[in-house]
């Protein structure tokens, strides 16, 4: 184990001793044969390939469909650490829902001058069609994925909020199932909180958000753009696990003021749509008229209270990276409390002084597109060439409001299994949150993404990252 990197190692302390959450695991690991563990890694790959756990890579002609590499060394979080994270995540999610309701109704936060009006008015993610519309149960973000990074023993930061259509929960579930199959003796030794009830909780949470038009047990469907979408496996997986139908736009239509699903017995009314289709493609009559992925007229039914759409249209304004920089103010404004989980310090390039600083320090910073995701369209200054920095400088000057910048954090590491043994790699964490009128449920774990290249800070699967099982210990 290389402990000379200067980053916080979650498994070992500075003297090479296992940290408390990893004590039982390390005792087990010491008795294991590396060749056997390497064999288990190959076994996991075979399992994922046979199950069809893949994702698509856009813009790549070769090998467009790939497996996400899986590392068999778990990431372990103590019960105490998780309790603090959970409090911070719940506080943040409550504030985001309150913010969305306010932005589409009285806009008190704008009147108070806590957020610039132009940040909302000029934002592509803001949907005027949602003004004055309250979703069933006043829930806007039914499913949230909050990306968290760690820099020290008790230092956790929110990297971004995924409030539109967060993905990755299927990998969290399959990672755990794989580990349970391969290392049952470990779970007898280490008391790990389960994650397998997520699909049941998702179904229950979505059902609790059914519209007033619902009569009886809510009918829930998963709306997918189709097999060519990068997360199609997850759409099909979650539909199957929930016992819900997987549908595409052409399977749905407006019938008697309801959204109805085509079946062998004709069209059946549905109540809740867990949509994995972006806002712009949701309704060609209200948004992009060229869209063939959505349902013509669905927004009219939504406005009339005939359907629940999860997540609600227009939630993208809450995970916009420029809005992100105001999240501490948003949390305080709506909860009256200081944010438990802090933001990463952020420069808004739309502001002249910030832009000047960012242009001068491009080689030190991480610069991201305001609407970007998946690691695309960003610059990691310390790892970029002079030519890449020069190209990005030109883009930044031409559209400064399209970018924010952050310092290059000293992300924590968790070991991965290599041919030579354990080696530290940087990680982040995406816990998954379910919101309904009945409360907020945070699954004890989440998706740990790991940068497999030595020294790399980019953990996204589309950029070569892998995943780990995330263990939250019982108290």
pLDDT tens for residues 387-414? 999 999 999 999 998 899 999 888 999 9
- pLDDT of 286 over the 90 cut: yes
- Is there a single domain that holds both residue 189 and residue 207? yes
Q: Using the 3D structure, point to which of 361, 389, 407 is the last residue of a domain.
A: 407
pLDDT of residue 17: 95
In a domain, 380, yes or no: yes
In a domain, 33, yes or no: yes
- Is there a single domain that holds both residue 61 and residue 154? yes
- Is there a single domain that holds both residue 336 and residue 359? no
Supply 254's token pair: 């407006």
- Is there a single domain that holds both residue 352 and residue 362? yes
- Is there a single domain that holds both residue 26 and residue 118? yes
- Is there a single domain that holds both residue 444 and residue 375? no
Q: Using the 3D structure, point to which of 386, 407, 428 is the last residue of a domain.
A: 407
pLDDT of residue 461: 66
- Is there a single domain that holds both residue 116 and residue 159? yes
pLDDT of residue 104: 98
How much of the chain exceeds pLDDT 90, in percent?
A: 81
Of the listed ranges 255-259, 428-432, 450-454, the one predicted with least confidence: 450-454
Is residue 144 within 8 A of residue 93, CB to CB? The reply is yes
In a domain, 284, yes or no: no
DSSP code per residue over 127-160: -GGGTT---GGG-S-SEEEEEEEEEETTEEEEEE
Euclidean distance between CA atoms 279 and 42, whole angstroms: 39
Tell me the C-alpha to C-alpha distance, in Å, between residue 321 and each of 86, 349, 403. Answer: 22, 11, 8
How much of the chain exceeds pLDDT 70, in percent?
A: 94
pLDDT of residue 2: 42
Write the pLDDT tens digit of every residue in 45-91.
Answer: 888 888 777 655 545 444 456 678 899 999 999 999 999 999 999 99
pTM: 0.92
- Is there a single domain that holds both residue 204 and residue 319? yes
- Is there a single domain that holds both residue 70 and residue 174? yes
In a domain, 121, yes or no: yes
In a domain, 333, yes or no: yes
- Is there a single domain that holds both residue 399 and residue 317? no
- Is there a single domain that holds both residue 316 and residue 354? no
> What 3-state class would DSSP assign to 227?
coil
* Averaged pLDDT of the chain: 92
Mean pLDDT along residues 356-382: 84
φ/ψ (deg, to 5) at 77: -120, 135
pLDDT of residue 457: 76
User: CB neighbours (10 Å) of residue 408?
Assistant: 14
Region of residue 162 (phi > 0: left; psi between -120 and 50: alpha; otherwise: beta): beta
- pLDDT of 293 over the 90 cut: yes
Q: Which CATH number do you get for residue 383?
A: 3.30.1490.270
Q: Using the 3D structure, point to which of 360, 384, 407 is the last residue of a domain.
A: 407
pLDDT of residue 376: 64
In a domain, 151, yes or no: yes
In a domain, 86, yes or no: yes
What is the span of the domain harbouring residue 139? 20-211+307-343+409-472
pLDDT of residue 63: 46
Euclidean distance between CA atoms 232 and 292, whole angstroms: 17
Euclidean distance between CA atoms 194 and 82, whole angstroms: 14
In a domain, 298, yes or no: no
Give the strand pairing for 403-407 and 379-380. unpaired
> Quick one: the chain helix, strand, coil %, rounded to 5?
35, 25, 40
pLDDT of residue 455: 81
- What's the domain count of the chain? 2
- Is there a single domain that holds both residue 385 and residue 435? no
């Amino acid at each position: 184990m290389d402990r000379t990197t200067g980053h916080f190692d979650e498994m070992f302390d500075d003297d090479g001793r296992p940290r408390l959450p990893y004590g039982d695991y390390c005792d087990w690991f010491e008795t294991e044969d590396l060749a056997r563990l390497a064999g288990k890694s190959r076994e996991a790959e075979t399992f994922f390939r046979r199950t069809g756990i893949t994702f698509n890579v856009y813009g790549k002609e070769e090998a467009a469909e790939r497996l996400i590499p899986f590392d068999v060394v778990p990431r372990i979080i103590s019960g105490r650490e998780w309790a603090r994270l959970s409090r911070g995540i719940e506080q943040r999610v409550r504030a985001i829902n309150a913010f969305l309701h306010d932005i589409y109704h009285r806009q008190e936060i704008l009147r108070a001058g806590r957020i610039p009006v132009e940040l909302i008015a000029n934002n592509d993610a803001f949907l005027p069609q949602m003004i004055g519309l309250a979703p069933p149960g006043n829930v806007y973000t039914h499913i949230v994925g909050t990306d968290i990074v760690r820099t020290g023993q008790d230092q956790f930061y929110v990297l971004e909020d995924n409030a539109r259509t967060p993905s990755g929960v299927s990998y969290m579930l399959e990672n755990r199932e794989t580990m349970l199959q391969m290392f049952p003796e470990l779970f007898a030794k280490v008391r790990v909180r389960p994650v397998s009830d997520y699909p049941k909780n998702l179904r229950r949470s979505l059902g609790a958000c059914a519209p007033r038009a619902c009569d009886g047990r809510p009918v829930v469907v998963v709306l997918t753009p189709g097999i060519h979408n990068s997360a199609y496996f997850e759409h099909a997986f979650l539909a199957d696990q929930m016992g819900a139908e997987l549908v595409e736009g052409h399977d749905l239509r407006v019938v008697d003021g309801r959204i109805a699903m085509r079946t062998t017995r004709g069209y059946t009314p549905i109540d809740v749509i867990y949509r994995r289709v972006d806002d712009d493609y949701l309704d060609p009559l209200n948004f992009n008229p060229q869209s063939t992925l959505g349902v013509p007229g669905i927004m009219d039914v939504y406005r009339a209270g005939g359907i629940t759409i999860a997540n609600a249209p227009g939630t993208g304004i809450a995970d916009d990276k420029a809005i992100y920089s105001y999240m501490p103010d948003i949390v305080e404004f709506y909860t009256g409390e200081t944010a438990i989980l802090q933001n990463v310090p952020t420069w808004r390039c739309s502001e002249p002084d910030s832009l000047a600083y960012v242009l001068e320090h491009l080689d030190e910073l991480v610069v991201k597109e305001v609407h970007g995701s998946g690691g695309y369209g960003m610059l990691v200054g310390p790892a970029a060439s002079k030519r890449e920095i020069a190209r990005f400088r030109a883009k930044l000057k031409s559209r400064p409001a399209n970018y924010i910048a952050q310092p290059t954090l000293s992300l924590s590491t968790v070991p991965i299994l290599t041919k030579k043994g354990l080696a530290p790699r940087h990680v982040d964490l995406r816990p998954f949150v379910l919101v309904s009128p009945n409360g907020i449920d945070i699954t004890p774990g989440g998706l740990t993404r790991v940068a497999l290249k030595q020294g790399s800070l980019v953990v996204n699967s589309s950029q070569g990252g892998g995943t780990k099982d995330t263990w939250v210990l019982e108290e």
